[in-house]
Structure 1
Amino acid sequence: MRPGQGLPPPSRPRRRPELTLPMPQRDAAVAVPLPLPPTSTSSTPTPPSAGGNPLPTPSFSDLERVRRIGSGSGGTVWMVRHRPTGRIYALKVIWGNPEGSIRRQIYREIEILRTADNPFVVRCHGMYDHAGEIQILLEYLDGGSLEGRHISSERLLADVARQILTGLAYLHRQRIVHRDIKPSNLLINAARQVKIADFGVSRILAQTMDPCNSSVGTVAYMSPERINTDLNQGSYDGYAGDIWSFGLSILEFYLGRFPFGENLGRQGDWASLMVAICYSNPPEAPSTASREFRSFIACCLQKEPARRLTATQLLQHPFITQLQQPPLPPSSVTPSSSFHP
């Protein structure tokens, strides 16, 4: 062997070594400690006996696919009908075939989701391991997500915010961190009931099966300290991170556009988007908004996580307590209703 043969080539020095944007890592400190489920090939896992005491999972063979209602980087969502009862569900089919510890981790977190019982959190009715694919049976909301909705009425926005905060406060009390609050994960039905969806499983898949996480739609709502671990002395509080994502989503509803810039990051330039989130000033509500709303947004979008109010504290903010309106009757709203006043 010639001298130097088989050795790795010398690394070239970085041009800008001071610029670092590490990808976020999973925060194990906020995971709910549960034992690993037993290995099984059954398509209907045994329901957990603690927490929300969920109902038995419907048999997979009794589900009939009606139509596809959504798809993303992690899988496809179908509207399905339970033949014996006629009840409608949403069935999320996760792409790929995770194995070993990843599959067991998904099992464990789905068991946690099944115990969640709150009117502002989408109910998880069970999981199927069918032909190697993980499929999750969820509550179906006929109004779809809030992605792309413009809610210019502060009174209506206060009611939407109240519902989301109530669901977040419940999850946080259960030591469950969502980590992916964004408009597309906030669903609504014809009665204008808003519920938090897609927590738990998606974040596992994004960080184990796709380490690069090229979807800027998720990165766009991450808090600064989650993107750049050099901020906040390297510590990350998942609960405070949820509040940042929530505040950014509420401000987006009000503005009718993404608060950091309508086109920033939308063409795949996620690095520019991450730099803007980490190093620019937090977005603010416009001067034309009420003092209560401007204060509310400022309480969410603080660069220092410790200065953000908790979900429980935000429920007592004047924007929520003074401006919220009672829910509208179902007859006055249709799934396709606009959120313009």
Structure 2
Amino acid sequence: MMLNQSDPTRPANPGTPNRPSGRRRPDLTLPLPQRDPSLAVPLPLPPPTSSSAGTTPPISSSSVSSTPALSDLDRVRRIGSGSGGTVWMVRHRPTNRIYALKVIYGNHEPSVRLQICREIEILRTADNPFVVRCHAMYDHAGEIQILLEFMDGGSLENRQIRDEPFLADVARQVLAGLAYLHRRKIVHRDIKPSNLLINSRREVKIADFGVGRILAQTMDPCNSSVGTIAYMSPERINTDLNQGAYDGYAGDIWSFGLSVLEFYLGRFPFGDNLGRQGDWASLMVAICYSNPPDAPPTASREFRSFIACCLQKEPARRQTAAQLLQHPFITKSSHSHGPPSSSGSASSAV
């Protein structure tokens, strides 16, 4: 907040007593709070002053011209739902193109809505073949709706991938998407099988980066999904670990490694009950204090090494996405095998 400073060359207003000189103390300053910019998506500049507080930031004319109108979208069927919202398969009438429309639940405070809108605009600039494309955002009738690239194979939740060459191809694509996001200083913070989508061309892409982190800050933690907690790194759950430091990039690698191991095993690596029907306390104790899970002896030496490079208790010992792309498990695979089998229904997660 700026204070009005009187011009000493101007006479005082009538009826206002003269203030003694020397009241201003330029040596007194208020330090700004410090933050780690690597742990959040950078925000753009505030909207022009002509915009009223709490309104959606303006979208550039170039993006408006390529944004489908919400009124031109027909909902075909629901393809996913959860505590955060619902995902619909929609058809754009003028072009007959298919999209996914994510409708976010909740009446959020104006400041939260503004932050969500700003970050979605940043996410719309993400252009990578291994990241689900965000085409548009609508703030309509109290609902925030996000128009996304449609992935006709759904999510990889409840999939088992025992074929190592194909699993290596899945891992390679996710790592390429993570490396892209990390280069842009974007931390996903919610890598898990339900946020990894596949299409009929066997392309695997990362979904739900950015927005989920904002919504999590506004929700009661007791209402959060246990599935999300299950893939968190130990130092993120227990801040006493790693001297209280949290590296978001290393946290993404832990979540990624746990997801890949789950694909191979066909079950949650810490146990079927934990993370599915188990209680929170047992789940968090297992993640924070038990040894990291490892690949079984039946797996190849390269795969066991790959998982070990991801699931290290100490964040500094985990390899980066760029380093893991050079691991023999990734580089030695032919990537010519078929799609994963499913032990459950495929649906886009929220």
Alignment TM-score, normalising by the size of structure 2? 0.82
Whole-angstrom CA distance in 2 between matches of 1:297 and 1:242? 14
- Which residue matches 2:295? 285
Conservation of the 8 A alpha-carbon contact between 1:223 and 1:244:
yes
Question: Structure 1 residue aligned with 2:136, among 99, 115, 126?
Answer: 126
Number of the residue aligned with 2:148: 138
3-state SS, counterpart of residue 74 of structure 2: strand
Q: Assess, with a 3 A threshold, how the Cα gap between structure 1 residues 30 and 310 changes in structure 2: closer, same or farther.
A: same
Tell me whether 1:172 sits opposite 2:182 in the alignment: yes
List gaps (5 residues or longer) in structure 2.
Answer: 1-34, 344-350
Give the alignment partner of residue 240 of structure 1, picking from 250, 262, 266. Answer: 250
Higher-Rg member (1/2) = 2
Measured at CA, do residues 161 and 171 of structure 1 come closer, stay the same or move farther in structure 2, by a change above 3 Å?
Answer: same
Q: Deviations over 1:166-218 (max 9, x none)?
A: 00000000111100000000000001100000111112112212333431110
Match of 2:232 in 1: 222
Alignment-derived partner of residue 214 in structure 2:
204
Larger mean CA deviation between 185-194 and 35-44 belongs to 35-44
- The sequence identity of aligned pairs, in percent, is 78
Give secondary structure in 2 for the equivalent of 1:265: coil
Q: Shift of the alpha carbon at 1:165?
A: 0.3
> 1:108 deviation in Å?
1.6
Moved more, 98-107 or 217-226: 98-107
| SS of alignment partner, residue 80 of structure 1 | strand
| 1:105 aligned partner | 115
Which stretch shows the higher mean deviation, 145-154 or 96-105?
96-105
Aligned counterparts of 1:54 and 1:262: Cα–Cα separation in 2: 47
* Counterpart in the other structure of 1:72: 82
Count of equivalent residues:
305
Q: Report 1:16-165 matches (<5 A).
A: 29-31=38-40, 32-37=42-47, 39=51, 46-47=59-60, 56-165=66-175
Distance in structure 2 (CA, Å) of the matches to 1:302 and 1:48: 47
Structure 1 vs Structure 2 CA RMSD? 2.3
Whether contact under 8 Å (2:195, 2:206) holds in the other structure is yes
User: What does the per-residue CA deviation read over 1:90-109, in whole Å, with 9 as the maximum and x for residues that have no partner?
Assistant: 00000011122211110121
Report the alpha carbon displacement of residue 111 of structure 1 after superposing the two structures with TM: 1.1
Shift of 1:48: 8.7
Match of 1:141, SS? Answer: coil
Q: Could you report, residue by residue, the CA deviation over 1:34-54 in whole angstroms, capped at 9, with x for unpaired residues?
A: 2234657988951497xxx89
Q: Give the corresponding residue for 2:192.
A: 182
Please tell me whether the aligned partners of residues 56 and 114 of structure 2 are also in contact (alpha carbons under 8 angstroms): no
Q: Find the aligned partners of 2:341 and 2:196 in 1 and give their Cα distance.
A: 16
Structure 1 residues without counterparts, runs of 5 or longer: 1-25
